[in-house]
Amino acid sequence: MNLDDVLERGLAAAAEDYDVPAGGIDRVRDQLAPSPAPSTDDGARRRGPWHWRPSGHAWLGIAAALIIVLIAVPIAIGGNGGGSGDEGGGSAVATSAKAPSGELANGAHRNSLAQLDAGTKHASVGQTDGPDAAALALPTPAPMRNGQVQSYSSVAGGTSGSVNAPQRGLDPIPVTTSRVEKTGELDLQVPKGQVSATLSKLSDIATFVRGYVSDSSTQESGSAPSGEVTLRVPVNRFEQAVHDARTITGTKVLSLQTSGVDVTSKYVDLQARIKALKATRSTFLTILSKATTIGEILSVQQRVDDVQTQIEQLQGQLRVLASTTSMSTLTVTVDQKLAAIAPRKQHHDNGFVKAVKLSVSRFVRGNEAIVGIIGPIVLVLLIVVLGWLAARFGYRATRRHLV
C-alpha cells in the first residue's frame, strides 16, 4: 500500500465519518419550489440589464472593441502629434501669410505708399498726419504705480488688448505722462533682385513717418542676398510704420514680433531724483559760497562734485529713456526667395546599371518599409495579447461568478 492508497482509504474513511443529512436534497428542492425553474429568457429578463453577464462571445467582442480603441487612440494621438510639429514650425509664416501684401495694400495706407513709390511722399505726409495717424496712434496706457513697469507684446500684428483696450469710465490720462518703449522685428521675403529696392522703400517709410534709418546692412554676394535695416520712428507712428513695412508690394511677411514696455514710472522717478539732486547741489553751492577755510572749501567741493556726477548719470539715463520712448525701433530683415533647386542633370545609364540601381533602391525601400512596419506590428501584438488576457480573465471571472 503506497501513499495514494492510504490517501484514498483514509479520505474514504474520513468522509464516511460525515453523515449525509437525510433531508439535504429535500431542502434544496424546497429552495427551488417557491420559484419555478425559469427559462433562460425569463432569467435574463428578471435579472435586468444591469445584471447582464457577458457571454464568451460578448467578452471577445468587448476585447475586440478595446483593442480597436487602444489602436485608434495612439494613432490619433500620434497623427496629431506628428502634424503639430510641422504646423507649429510654420505657424509664424502661415499666420503672416494670411495677410498678403496685396490685401493689406487695399487699406488706407495703400494710397500713401503708392504716393511714396511715385515720389510724392512729401506731399502726402501732411495728409496722413490727420485721421490715419490719429487712428494708428498707440492708445495711452493705464497709469502705473511708482516702480511698476507694464509691458505688452504681440506677434504677427496681434497686439494684446490689455493695454490698447479703451479705458471706459476712467479719467482721461494726459498723453505727456506716458512713456512706452516699443520695438519690433519684421522678416520679409522679397522676389529675386528686390532686396535693395525693398530696403530703399523701408528707408522711405522711415522718412515718411518722420523717422530715420539708424542702421542698415546688405549682403549682395552669394545666391541669397539679404539686408537688414533698423528704423527709428516716432513712437506714436510705430504701428503705421509696421503696417507700411509689412504691406510693401511684392513682399511676403515671414514673421512679425512687436513689443511695448511702459516705463512711465521709471521716467518720472528719474526726473524726481534729478530734481532732488539739483536741490542738494544748490544747497552745497550755497554752503560753498560761505566757506572760509581751504578745508571747508575742499570738503564741500567734493560733495558738489559727487552730486554733480550723480546728476549727470541720471540725466544720461533720462536721455536714453526719452530717446527710446520717443523713437521706437523697428528692425526689418529682408531675404530673397530661394531659387528653385535646379534639376540635376540626368545621366543616361545603360540598362544594366539602371537595373542594378533600381534593384538597390527597391532593396533599401523594402528594408525601410519592413523596419517601419515592425513597430506598429509589435504594438498591435502587444495590444492583442493584453486584450486577450483581459478577455480571458474577465471571461473566467464571469464564469466563476456564474457557477
Q: Which residues bind other proteins (CB under 8 A)?
A: 1-21, 24-25, 27-29, 31-32, 37-38, 40, 43, 396, 399-400, 402-403
Judged by CB, which is closer to other proteins: 6, or 360? 6
Judged by CB, which is closer to other proteins: 28, or 378? 28
Tell me how far apart the alpha carbons of residues 109 and 265 are, in angstroms, rounded to a whole number.
34
Closest Cα to residue 136, out of 12, 237, 276?
237
Tell me how far apart the alpha carbons of residues 137 and 208 are, in angstroms, rounded to a whole number.
15
Judged by CB, which is closer to other proteins: 35, or 289? 35
Judged by CB, which is closer to other proteins: 5, or 86? 5
Hey, which residues does 329 pair with through a beta bridge? 183, 232
Q: How is residue 393 written as a grid cell?
A: 480573465
DSSP, res 99 = S
Least Å from the CB of residue 75 to other proteins: 36
Least Å from the CB of residue 11 to other proteins: 4
Judged by CB, which is closer to other proteins: 301, or 398? 398
Least Å from the CB of residue 4 to other proteins: 7
Per-residue HEC secondary structure of 193-228 comes to: CCHHHHHHHHHHHHHHCCCEEEEEEEECCCCCCEEE
Cα–chain-centroid distance for residue 192? 31
Judged by CB, which is closer to other proteins: 14, or 134? 14
Least Å from the CB of residue 82 to other proteins: 44
Tell me how far apart the alpha carbons of residues 21 and 6 are, in angstroms, rounded to a whole number.
27
DSSP string, 122-151: HHHHHHHTTHHHHHHSPPPPPP--TT--EE
Judged by CB, which is closer to other proteins: 10, or 366? 10
Least Å from the CB of residue 49 to other proteins: 19
Least Å from the CB of residue 10 to other proteins: 3
Least Å from the CB of residue 55 to other proteins: 10
Residue 257 half-sphere exposure toward CB, CA atoms < 13 A:
4
Judged by CB, which is closer to other proteins: 1, or 371? 1
Least Å from the CB of residue 71 to other proteins: 30
Residue 301 half-sphere exposure toward CB, CA atoms < 13 A:
8
Tell me how far apart the alpha carbons of residues 262 and 173 are, in angstroms, rounded to a whole number.
14
Hey, which residues does 212 pair with through a beta bridge? 232
